[in-house]
Amino acid sequence: MIDRMIDRKIDEVLWYSPVGGIVRPDIVWGEVTQWLAEKRRIGLPKGGDFEVSFDDDANSIEIVPIETGIPRRVSREEWRRFGDRFNEVKKKGYDPLRPGHYADITHNSSYLVAILKELGYSE
């Protein structure tokens, strides 16, 4: 189990290796899914909480907004697209923790960014 990681810098840990090369998003997928072995409750910046956990059988992250109770799933492939875009945004010098950068590749961007923030990643 991974305890909450605090004050980690994105460019040092999340998608970039210590030697400056980009880390594949599947490495971070492993970290996140391990952390989500237990169900977590996370808040969104604009309000509203959601529960999130990892479903081993479906090999996906399950997100359940408290307001609707309707489950949403994030597959490993969707996570990879999110990670690839994250790298592109970061390389261009923009803040990768803004969900608007991902609207055309996932409908779960606010949730995915909130998960990263909850893990302690910061700009």
pLDDT tens-digit series, residues 37-95: 999 999 998 889 999 999 999 999 999 999 999 999 999 999 989 988 888 888 888 88
Q: Which tens digit of pLDDT belongs to each residue from 94-107?
A: 888 899 999 999 99
**Residue corresponding to tokens 């237990």:** 38
Instruction: Name the residue ranges covered by the structural domains of the chain.
Output: 25-118
Secondary structure, 3-state, 55-85:
ECCCCEEEEEECCCCCCEEEEHHHHHHHHHH
Whole-model pTM? 0.79
Other C-beta atoms lying within 10 Å of the C-beta of residue 85:
18
Q: d(Cα 106, Cα 100) in Å, to the nearest integer?
A: 10
